[in-house]
Structure 1
Amino acid sequence: MRRERVFRDRSNLLEIYNNEDFIGRFRLPKEAILSLTDELAEVLSPATSRSHSIPAVLQVCTALKFYATGTFLNAVGDTVGLSKASVSRAVYRVSRALSNKLPQFPNHLAELNKANIKRQFAAMYGFPNVIGAIDCTHIVNRKHVLSINVQVVCEANMIFTNVVARWPGSTHDSFIVVHSSVGNRLEAGAVRDGWLLGDSGYPLRRWLLTPFPNPQSAEQMRYNDAHTRARSVVERAIGLLKCRWCCFDVSGGRLLYQPKKVRQIIMACAILHNMAQRNGVALPPDLPYLQHEEPDPHPPPQHERHHQGARIREEVMQHF
């Protein structure tokens, strides 16, 4: 005889918790969850008329709970009323659906030409013509054996404008930027008047300004101080990303998935991070804020002198 199927109680999570508790558990307010569900409903809704299918909103909440805690799938399932297998499928479907929304990242760089990005950096940090701050961070998966070196570019308000999550952890930051679409397009002149800010591990270019390696004058020191203040926004953004989505943090656990799935989760969490920032969603008060301090595992390469980049850096130095 066939064993009778047992369906867990799937209570409406939107009705159980108030908005503050909901943000604490899922990191986004209910309105944002419903808006996100509407965007993904066509992909997440089952192509069947059978009963007891998992609603799209529950799949979204399940994935958010996993991203927010990084805990075991069966523990997530106990919270949302799903089996471990159903949680795994929900995380995969939502991650894939969100990662396919990559066009919202301005890979075409049109967004980077907007003057308000430069105005924000100038107003907050006093650094002119900045179109973004760039850095890399490691995301570990498969029981600490493999990692992905993730490159991010962010605005002054800690919103990511570009994310590259396809290079192994052994790849140096400077290699990633010159082989990324952002680096190639900026090198080709996609943005004529503006530059990224990167640390000393990056190569100096006309579109990528780095600090003076050995400042000798007061002007160079003032430039380095202003550069550090402006570039630090990307470190805070990475720290906020890992604090909001604890699946990336050591305290929350590691992503025990193959690299392809990890890349999808990274991109999904970056998009959700942007949603939270645009909606002004603060972190729950009981979460410690993580300052990103992740030194590159390799010594920075010796970059050849880039004359145009050096000239622009000298001109910017006069601003301070």
Structure 2
Amino acid sequence: MADLVLLEDLQQALLRRDRIFRDRTDLLAESDEWLISRFRLPRPILLDLCQQFSQLLERPTKRTSAVPVHTQVLSTIGFLATGTFQREIGDRSGISQPTVSRIMPHVLHAIISLTSQYITFPNTAAERTQIMTDFYNITGFPSVIGAVDCTHVALKAPTVDEFAFQNRKGYHSINVQVICDAHLNLLNVVANSPGGTHDSFIVQNSIMGLRFEQSAAGEGWLFGDRGYALKFWLMTPVANPVSQKELNYNRAHERTRSSVECAIGLLKARWLCLSDRGGILQYKPDKVCYIVKACSVLHNIAIKNGIPLDEMPIQEDRHMAEGFDPMPNAVAMQLRAGIIEWF
């Protein structure tokens, strides 16, 4: 009996034993090459982010060792860059998994607060002209203001409205709409649609779609694939090209529109939590949307600062859902016919 009591006491002691972490190391002391490989950003940009977020992330605490701002930022960005388990991120940063879980929403909120600074659709004539010129230099296509496409970010099956999040490929996801320019900068991101939502429905009911429909976005066309409905502000390929001009139009359209596919591939390669390489995100839909928005801001920061990425952009399996708008738009078809004559 005494032996059983002793074994029980030993078991309880093991359960009560605190987890031991190594000392918090100064990860920012590492080389830029090392930092980029693990956090996708070099020291100067990481330090700048820490400085910008200091007021948002520093909190009064009665603890003897509050989590420093740079540890909060690096832990969260490290997760976004790798998609690995929070426990592994915590071990690397010298903090516990519950602490990683607690600080992540605050850092994501801080990153998203920079959205208006880094993700902006061109509003002035000069900005629109520059973007149109950049697209024109690809294939000679006139008046292109942005390329649009959607991508799916996988997540665990939600407990609420599970069916709505099941996409056409059979898994649960958020369907994320991206509009980019010719340099792969994200001009607009919509990250709040369940995976079962049609791409064309998202763009038509987004703020940008409504702006274009009301002609408030200025002259110019968005470019989308055949999964979108042809609109006077959204040019799509000719479904069954017959003439040489139609074939030329489709080739130029594809090369111009490929910018958004490259942007999405680069976004997911840089921030692996968004790709299947990082596994399925084990969070509720609203938090996954926050993660997507934060990654989009960081993507533009990396693009605008010319940060290199060794990994190859992720090539997605293209499977478009067509036939969303059964009735052709006569005005849009006439506009597209006029563009085809350019070729």
- The TM-score normalised by the length of structure 2 is 0.86
Using the TM superposition, give the Cα deviation of residue 11 of structure 1 relative to its aligned residue in structure 2, in angstroms.
1.6
Q: Cα deviation per residue 1:192-248 (whole Å; 9 max; x = unaligned)?
A: 320100001111111100011111100011000000000011011111111111111
2:92 aligned partner, one-letter code:
T
Q: Is the 8 A contact 2:228 2:322 kept in 1?
A: no
Tell me the equivalent position of 2:267. 241
Q: Distance in 2 between matches of 1:188 and 1:4?
A: 61
Q: Which runs of 5+ in 2 are unaligned?
A: 1-15, 158-165
Matched, 1:81 2:94: yes
Matched, 1:273 2:299: yes
C-alpha spacing 1:205/1:66, structure 2 compared with 1 (3 Å): same
Q: Cα deviation per residue 1:58-113 (whole Å; 9 max; x = unaligned)?
A: 11111111011111111111111111011112222111222233333336x51685
SS, match of residue 251 in structure 1: helix
Q: Distance in 2 between matches of 1:293 and 1:229?
A: 17
Q: Distance in 2 between matches of 1:67 and 1:119?
A: 33
Using the TM superposition, give the Cα deviation of residue 142 of structure 1 relative to its aligned residue in structure 2, in angstroms.
1.4
Of 88, 91, 96, the match for 2:104? 91
Percent of pairs identical after alignment?
Answer: 42
Tell me the equivalent position of 1:315. 338
C-alpha spacing 1:35/1:307, structure 2 compared with 1 (3 Å): same
SS, match of residue 179 in structure 2: strand
Q: Distance in 1 between matches of 2:261 and 2:283?
A: 25
Matched, 1:56 2:69: yes
The runs of 4+ residues in structure 1 deviating greater than 6 Å are 2-7
Q: Distance in 1 between matches of 2:109 and 2:319?
A: 30
Q: Distance in 2 between matches of 1:65 and 1:126?
A: 40
Matched, 1:229 2:255: yes
Q: Is the 8 A contact 1:66 1:91 kept in 2?
A: no
Q: Is the 8 A contact 1:134 1:153 kept in 2?
A: yes
Matched, 1:117 2:131: yes
Using the TM superposition, give the Cα deviation of residue 126 of structure 1 relative to its aligned residue in structure 2, in angstroms.
1.9
Q: Cα deviation per residue 1:131-173 (whole Å; 9 max; x = unaligned)?
A: 1000001111116963110001001000101000111100100
C-alpha spacing 1:157/1:111, structure 2 compared with 1 (3 Å): farther
Tell me the equivalent position of 2:163. none
SS, match of residue 257 in structure 1: coil
Q: Is the 8 A contact 1:127 1:226 kept in 2?
A: yes
1:97 aligned partner, one-letter code:
A
Q: Distance in 1 between matches of 2:187 and 2:45?
A: 20
Map 1:4-153 onto structure 2 (within 5 A).
8-15=22-29, 17-48=30-61, 50-104=63-117, 105-106=119-120, 110=123, 114-142=128-156, 146-153=172-179
Tell me the equivalent position of 1:256. 282
Matched, 1:306 2:329: yes
Q: Cα deviation per residue 1:246-303 (whole Å; 9 max; x = unaligned)?
A: 111112212100011100000000000000000101113xx2331233324x443243
Q: Distance in 2 between matches of 1:146 and 1:67?
A: 19
Q: Distance in 2 between matches of 1:150 and 1:44?
A: 28
Matched, 1:291 2:315: yes
C-alpha spacing 1:220/1:5, structure 2 compared with 1 (3 Å): closer
Q: Cα deviation per residue 1:21-76 (whole Å; 9 max; x = unaligned)?
A: 11001100111111112222211111337531111111111111101111111111
SS, match of residue 34 in structure 1: helix
2:89 aligned partner, one-letter code:
V
Q: Is the 8 A contact 2:262 2:313 kept in 1?
A: no
C-alpha spacing 1:237/1:5, structure 2 compared with 1 (3 Å): closer
1:307 aligned partner, one-letter code:
A
Number of residue pairs aligned between Structure 1 and Structure 2? 314
Q: Distance in 2 between matches of 1:149 and 1:117?
A: 26
Whichever of the two has the greater Rg, that structure is: 2
Q: Which runs of 5+ in 1 are unaligned?
A: none
SS, match of residue 162 in structure 1: strand
Higher mean alpha-carbon deviation, 129-138 vs 37-46, is at 37-46
- The TM-score normalised by the length of structure 1 is 0.92
